[in-house]
Amino acid sequence: MRGEETAISYLNENYKRFSSLARSIWENPEIGLDEKFASKAIADELETAGFSVEFGAGQMETAFVASWGEGNPIIGILGEYDALPSLSQDATPERNELVSGGPGHGCGHNLYGVGALGAALAMQQVMMETGIKGTVRYYGCPAEETLTGKTYMARDGVFDDLDASITWHPGYANTVWANGSSLAMNSFKVHFHGIAAHGASSPHMGRSALDGAVLMDMGVNYLREHIIQDARIHSVIKDGGEAPNVVPPNATIWYYVRAPKRDQVESIYKRMLDCAQGAALMSGTTYDVEFLTGCYELLPNPTISNIMLEKMEALGGIEFNHDDMEFARKLQSSIDPEILEMSRQHTLEMAKEGTTADDIGAVLCENVIRPSDDFRIMHGSTEVGDVSQIAPTGNLLTCCHPLGSPGHSWQITASSGAEIGFKGMDYAAKAMALTGLELMVNADALDTAKREFAQATGGRTYVTPLPDGATPQKGG
């Protein structure tokens, strides 16, 4: 396609600039809805390049939408930039916490946001040079780790006019998410309210909110036997009282419930609320439910996935040098061999039949890995799923950390501030830019993607999982 060399050259020439920006965000990690440095840094780059930038999407201070160009097609590029708590780490292969208990980019979102930025700006360069018509839209999406950003942005309709969206995520294998999905999810807290009393001399005068929370969790534990196999429920008691000799007047239990389909989550959620009601009756307490967020399952688009894979194969993978490999080997030595082997087997299972261990590499993945033809579900959740229920969406992965690195780990924080992370980010930016440009000029491919999307959704309109009046909450 005319202009592809321009996009690649632009990203090559600006490699140090984007790497420096990703490193700067890595050095200033911020958790969800606090990403003031990161969101401003990325938005400033877009505004300087001539994009119109509007902050405050979805009632979130650090969310923004940036647009350049005019008319259709409108191609959206999703960017994230939130860090994780307690994962502070230097860019070294040994554990070296920079700030005690501080946050760190243990999911590589410093790379995610800047890689998406590079793709948007590369697309703009080609469109200006060649006269391609259309609109490039960058979405600054905060708080992915709490599954908040895109869900609240989707509720407010900022994705509704997209013709297609593309995104990526740091990973190990260079591949596309073509034949897989993620779990839909609800996140909610149940607050029980009782009556305080002396735990020894007058317990009969009290009503324990903690009893309510514990009884609810007992009910939910029994419920687990009678829900679908692929559903998952996790809980923590956030508040259970202050001292054993005081009957706790307040207690809070926080749940995630996940399932392969949105309607399955809703069904299980209703049954969990019945457990709350029963627990309140048994404990003589009252309760209220605080719904934090929810999301849909990911809906992959075959046409966009195939275009992404073609562009990645044309780019030819990633070349890591001796220093990159040595850094990765030392980092990998901190990982339990059993976990390493599990990761190797998982990567092979996700790859097309016939892929070998040599193909995927032992330390860093340099080749492009064709995804398995079998449909698989990732047992985590992402609110990219909500965007994929609104517009045809493609998602790619690139190698940014060593094989075996656990998700949300200090090893990934180290990799995300190092050259291996930046090289994976650069490769992702190129693949996304070329994919976006193809969708701009190839009307037949875009129409096919839309037909696939309409068939997959059955023509239904997206309905937010959020209840009326829900507002984004920090930390949850």
pLDDT band for position 29 (50/70/90)?
very high
Beta strands (DSSP E) in 194-259 are 232-239, 250-259
Portion of the chain with pLDDT greater than 90, in percent: 96
Percentage of residues of the chain with pLDDT beyond 70? 99
Q: How far is Cα 109 from Cα 41, in angstroms, rounded to an integer?
A: 14
- The torsion defined by the Cα of 364, 368, 371 and 376, in degrees rounded to 10, comes to 30
Please tell me if the domain spanning 4-182+297-457 has the same topology as the one spanning 184-295. Answer: no
Give the pairing type, strands 175-176 and 393-399. antiparallel
77 token code pair: 């590029």
For the record, the structure tokens of 371 come out as 């995804």
Q: What is the pLDDT of residues 342-366, one digit of tens each?
A: 999 999 999 999 999 999 999 999 9
Phi and psi torsions of 117, nearest 5°: -60, -45
C-alpha span between 5 and 310 (Å, rounded): 15
* Phi, psi for 51 (deg, rounded to 5): -75, 145
376 falls in which pLDDT band (50, 70, 90)? confident
What are 230's strand-pairing partners? none
Rounded to 5 degrees, what are φ and ψ at 223? -60, -35
CATH architecture of 184-295: 2-Layer Sandwich (3.30)
pLDDT at 222 (0 to 100): 97
Question: For residues 205 and 197, what is the distance between their CA atoms, to the nearest angstrom?
Answer: 6
Tokens of 386: 């909500």
Scan for tokens 């090893």, then name that residue: 411
Is it the case that residue 218 has pLDDT exceeding 80? yes
- Assess if CATH 2.40.50.140 describes domain 4-182+297-457: no
How does pLDDT run across 121-148, given as a tens digit for each residue?
A: 999 999 999 999 999 999 999 999 999 9
- pTM assigned to the model: 0.96
- Answer for the pair 227, 183: CB distance below 8 angstroms, yes or no: no
Phi and psi of 359, rounded to 5°?
Answer: -65, -40
pLDDT tens-digit series, residues 418-468: 999 999 999 999 999 999 999 999 999 999 999 999 999 998 999 999 999
Domain ranges, ordered by start, for the chain: 4-182+297-457, 184-295
Could you report the per-residue pLDDT of 167-217, keeping only the tens digit for each?
999 999 999 999 889 999 999 999 999 999 999 999 999 999 999 999 999
pLDDT bucket at 1, cuts 50 / 70 / 90: low
- pLDDT, mean of residues 29-43: 98
Strand pairing partners for 66?
Answer: 53, 138
- In angstroms, the CA 453 to CA 252 distance is 40
Which three-class secondary structure state does DSSP give residue 91? Answer: coil
d(CA 274, CA 272): 5
Mean pLDDT of 224-231: 96
Question: Quick check: 338 pLDDT over 90?
Answer: yes
